[in-house]
C-alpha cells in the first residue's frame, strides 16, 4: 500500500514539533508562541489525516474491513498526537513529558506506515484476513 505522502507529512509534523519544542523551552512563558505552535501543529496533524485518507482511497484493492482496521490504528495515533498538541498551551505543562507522549504516538505511526509501504499487498491482505491465514497454515 502506498503511504509515502502520509509519511512525508508525518515526518514534517515531527520535525516542526521538535522545532517548536526547542523554541518553547527557550521561552517557556511565551503564551503567544504556545498558541501559535498549537495551531500550526494541529494543522499539520490534519494534513497527515487528509493524506492518509487519500492513500487509503487509492488502495482500493483491499476490502472495506481490511482498510477499517488500518484506519482505526492511524486515527487513534492521530488523536493521541492531537491531544498532546492541545496541551501545549497549558501554562504548567511539563514540556518534556509532552514531548515523550508525542513521540510515543508519532514514532510507531511512522514505522507502521513504512511497513505498509514496504510490505507486498498480498502479505498485508493475508495479515488482515484470518481466513487466508488458516488456508496457508
Closest to 21 in 3D by CA, of 1, 3, 41: 41
In percent, the amount of the chain with pLDDT more than 90 equals 55
Average pLDDT value for the chain: 86
Element (H, E) at 27: none
pLDDT tens for 68-84 read 888 999 999 999 999 99
Residue 65 has pLDDT above 80, yes or no: no
Question: Where does the pLDDT of residue 62 fall: very low under 50, low under 70, confident under 90, or very high at 90 and above?
Answer: low
Q: What are phi and psi of 90, to 5 degrees?
A: -70, 130
Question: Where does the pLDDT of residue 28 fall: very low under 50, low under 70, confident under 90, or very high at 90 and above?
Answer: confident
Q: What does the pLDDT read at residue 131? A: 58
Query: What integer is the mean pLDDT of 27-39?
Result: 90
Domain ranges of the chain: 4-136
Of the two residues 128 and 52, the one the predictor is more confident about is 52
Q: How far apart are CA 130 and CA 55, in angstroms?
A: 24
Q: What does the pLDDT read at residue 130? A: 58
Residue 97 has pLDDT above 60, yes or no: yes
Q: How far apart are CA 1 and CA 120, in angstroms?
A: 8
Residue with cell 511497513: 115
Of the two residues 96 and 14, the one the predictor is more confident about is 14
Q: Does the model's pTM come out above 0.75?
A: yes
**Cβ neighbour number for residue 106 with a 10 Å cutoff:** 21
Amino acid at each position: 500500500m502506498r503511504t509515502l505522502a502520509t509519511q512525508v507529512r508525518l515526518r514534517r509534523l515531527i520535525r516542526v514539533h521538535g522545532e517548536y519544542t526547542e523554541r518553547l523551552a527557550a521561552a517557556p512563558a511565551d503564551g503567544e508562541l504556545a498558541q501559535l505552535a498549537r495551531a500550526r501543529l494541529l494543522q499539520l496533524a490534519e494534513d497527515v489525516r487528509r493524506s492518509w485518507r487519500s492513500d487509503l482511497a487509492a488502495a482500493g484493492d483491499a476490502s472495506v474491513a481490511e482498510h477499517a482496521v488500518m484506519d482505526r490504528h492511524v486515527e487513534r495515533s492521530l488523536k493521541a498526537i492531537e491531544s498532546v498538541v492541545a496541551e501545549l498551551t497549558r501554562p504548567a505543562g511539563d514540556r518534556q513529558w509532552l514531548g515523550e507522549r508525542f513521540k510515543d504516538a508519532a514514532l510507531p505511526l511512522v514505522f507502521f506506515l513504512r511497513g505498509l509501504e514496504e510490505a507486498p499487498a498480498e502479505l498485508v491482505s493475508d495479515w488482515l484476513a484470518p481466513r487466508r491465514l488458516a488456508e496457508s497454515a
